[in-house]
Amino acid sequence: MSLWFEAARGAVVLNVVLLAGLATVWARNYRSHGAKHTLGLLVFACVLLAQNLLALYLYSLDPTFHSWMYDSAPVAQRGTMAMNALELVAIAFLVKITWE
């Protein structure tokens, strides 16, 4: 396995966990307050969660995608990992400000 591939998959797993937590908090807040802004955050979290669940499926279970990524050039693997890692940083920031 490529280290870059595994790092990308690890970032996606963390994204899923953090997004599920954010969606839970924002759903609870929306039920309590009914604010449109909170609904927007909830929809954002759900869409991004769906995208990350699809990525997790592709990284973990889809043999065609898995072999394509594994056999791709290292620059493609690093780029994919960088996008997932940057997304993780953004989501972690949202988690930090949500929990404060």
Q: Extract the runs of DSSP E, i.e. beta strands, from 6-98.
A: none
Give the HSE-up count for residue 13: Cα atoms under 13 Å, Cβ half-sphere. Answer: 8
pLDDT band at 68 (very low <50, low <70, confident <90, very high): confident
Return the pLDDT at 1. Answer: 56
Q: Check: CB of residue 5 under 8 Å from CB of residue 72.
A: no
pLDDT band at 71 (very low <50, low <70, confident <90, very high): confident
Closest CA to 29 of 19, 41, 21, 38: 38
Average pLDDT over residues 10-15: 97
- pLDDT 10s digits, 23-67: 999 999 999 999 999 999 999 999 999 999 999 999 899 989 878
